[in-house]
Amino acid sequence: MRWSERVVRSGWALALLVAGAAAPAAGETDRDRALARCAGETGQRLRFLESRLDGHARYADLWWKGWTGVFAGGIVVSGVRAGFEGDRGERADLVVTAAKSAIGLARNLWAPPPARLGARELAGMPTDTADGCARRLARAEEILHRNVEDAREGRRSWIPHVANLALNLAGALIVAEGFDEADGWTSGALGFAVGEARIWSHPWQAGGTLAEYRRRFPASGVPQAPATSWHLESWGAGARVTVRY
């Protein structure tokens, strides 16, 4: 069945993402040797940032390769099936599916997530002087903020969600209304669900890393106070509210 094939392809892509999150890191020896020259808090910050950036890269790379494979497979499978399909409506549905896969593939190839680069561009920056370490740290912070912004735009911005809805709605209308094929609506709904899975699985880890980085290394050098909290507790014959800040 055509629908089961699409679901299987999507399942394989998500499985690759999960497996990639646990992949072992590589090339840490050279990085540690370089960062050992950076003393004090600068060195601590760099070790934290670069290890996290490389950790994010493993997931981002598997995410990008996985969805690239899903879209490429969609083009091939739907295109081949369309060539052998005799029913006019079914053929139109397959052609539209292939076209949507082509659009997804082009988008994936045009704008891969920058998180997949990890700390690669920092490798050539010198650490033999304090100024060199400071410049490398500044660049590492810039990369983290860039990845945070990419995660926000890729997952929580309204643009990709509206574009996903518009693409699949247009495809469903073409097939269902233009070719009188009721499966067009089912195809559109499934395509929308797959598109949302891609959007919400977009590499997101940078935001949590930035929050942790700010907690560990506040700019003032003074650890940040914990967030204000309150709770109700018994007190004698009554109760009281305790506020911690």
**Domain spans in the chain, listed from the N-terminal domain onward:** 2-244
pLDDT, average across residues 9-30? 47
Q: Which long-range contacts (C-beta less than 8 Å, at least 24 apart) are formed by 118-127? A: 118/53, 118/54, 118/55, 118/56, 118/57, 118/58, 119/31, 119/49, 119/50, 119/53, 119/54, 119/57, 119/143, 120/57, 122/50, 122/53, 123/30, 123/31, 123/34, 127/34, 127/35, 127/37, 127/38
What is the Rg, in whole angstroms, of the alpha carbon atoms belonging to the chain? 24
Does 118 score more than 90 pLDDT? Answer: yes
Query: Please, which residues bridge with residue 235 across strands?
Result: 238
Q: Which residue has the tokens 């945070």?
A: 148
The answer to whether the beta carbons of residues 78 and 96 sit under 8 Å apart is: no
Does 20 score more than 60 pLDDT? Answer: no
Query: How far, in Å, CA of 38 to CA of 22, rounded?
Result: 29
Q: Identify which of 183, 186, 188 has the alpha carbon closest to the alpha carbon of residue 171.
A: 188
Does 14 score more than 50 pLDDT? Answer: no
Instruction: Give the model confidence (pLDDT) of 27-62 as tens digits.
Output: 456 777 788 888 899 999 999 999 999 999 999 999
Query: How far, in Å, CA of 166 to CA of 218, rounded?
Result: 43
Within a 10 A sphere around the Cβ of 224, how many other Cβ atoms?
11
Query: How far, in Å, CA of 178 to CA of 189, rounded?
Result: 17
pLDDT, average across residues 199-222? 87
Q: Identify which of 45, 46, 61 has the alpha carbon closest to the alpha carbon of residue 114.
A: 61
Judged by DSSP in three states, 87 sits in coil
- Contacts of residue 116, defined as CB under 8 A and 6 or more positions apart, other chains included, come to 57, 60, 61, 63, 64, 203
Instruction: Give the model confidence (pLDDT) of 132-180 as tens digits.
Output: 999 999 999 999 999 999 999 999 999 999 999 999 999 999 998 888 8
Per-residue confidence (pLDDT) for residue 148, from 0 to 100: 96
